[in-house]
Amino acid sequence: MPYPAVFADLLKTPEFLSQTPPALTQSVAQSAPNLALPSLSEAPQPISPRSDIVPPAIPSIEIPPNSDRSSSPMPPSAETPASTSQKTPAVPIPAVPTVPLPSAIQPLAADGMIELKADRQTYDDRRQIFTAEGNVFMRFRDSRVKADRLQVNLVNRFAVAEGNVTFVKGSQVLQGDRFDYNFVQGNGSIRGAKGEIATQSTQDLTDFTTPLSTDVSASSTIGKSISDRIYRNQPATVIESRIGAELVVGSDFASLGQQGQGGRGFRRLRFEADSAEFFPDGWDAKNIRITNDPFSPPELELRARSASSRKRSIYEDELLVDKPQLVFDQRFKLPIPRNRILLDKRPKKDVLRISPGYDSLDRGGLYIERGFTVVASPNFYLDITPELYLQRAFNTSNVIDWFGTKATVAANIGRTQLSAAIELTSLDLTQFEQRFRGNLQLLQPIGTHTLALQGAYRKRLFNNSLGFQDVQSTIGGLLYSPNIALWDTGINLSYQLGYQYINADTDRADLLKPGRTNNRVNLQRYQAAAALSRYFRVWQGVGLPQTQTEGMRYTPAPVVPYLDFIIGTTGVASAYTSGDSQNNVTFSVGFNAQLGHFSKPVFDYTAVNLTYSQAIRTGSSPFLFDRVADGKILAGGLTQQIYGPIRAGFQTAWNVDTSKEISTDYFLEYSRRTYNIRLRYNPTLSLGSINLVVSDFNWDGGSEGFKGTGIVTNGVSP
10 Å Cβ neighbour count for 258? 20
CA distances from 226 to 454, 647, 651 (A): 30, 12, 7
At residue 339, the pLDDT reads 78
At residue 267, the pLDDT reads 56
Among 187-201, 373-387, 620-634, the range with the most confident prediction by mean pLDDT is: 620-634
Query: Residues 555-575: pLDDT tens digits?
Result: 988 999 999 999 999 999 999
What would you report as the CA-atom Rg of the chain, rounded to the nearest whole angstrom? 31
Distance of CA 429 to the CA centre of its chain: 39
Mean pLDDT in residue range 45-49: 40
10 Å Cβ neighbour count for 698? 18
Strands 120-124 vs 143-153: parallel, antiparallel or unpaired: unpaired
Lowest mean pLDDT among 137-151, 217-231, 627-641: 217-231
What residue ranges do the domains of the chain occupy? 6-169, 218-263+367-711
Distance of CA 360 to the CA centre of its chain: 32
pLDDT of 352 above 70:
no
Query: Residues 392-403: pLDDT tens digits?
Result: 999 988 999 999
The confidence band for 308, taking pLDDT boundaries of 50, 70 and 90, is confident
Query: Residues 309-332: pLDDT tens digits?
Result: 877 665 567 788 888 888 999 999
At residue 29, the pLDDT reads 31
**Amino acid letter, residue 62:** E
Choose among 440, 446, 442, 473: nearest CA to 458: 473
Higher-pLDDT residue of 692 and 277 is 277
Query: Residues 362-371: pLDDT tens digits?
Result: 999 999 988 8
Query: Residues 485-511: pLDDT tens digits?
Result: 999 999 999 999 999 999 999 999 999
pLDDT of 249 above 50:
no
pLDDT of 47 above 70:
no
Q: Mean pLDDT across the chain, nearest whole number?
A: 77
Three-state SS for 4-37 is CCHHHHHCCCHHHHCCCCCCHHHHHHHHCCCCCC
- Tell me whether residue 248 is exposed, middle or buried, using C-beta atoms within 10 angstroms of its C-beta: 0 to 12, 13 to 18, 19 or more: middle
Distance of CA 546 to the CA centre of its chain: 20
Higher-pLDDT residue of 269 and 180 is 180
Alpha helices, DSSP H only, in 3-132? 6-10, 14-17, 24-31
Torsion angles phi and psi, residue 268, rounded to 5: -140, 150
10 Å Cβ neighbour count for 95? 11
Give the Cα separation of 1 and 66 in Å (integer): 20
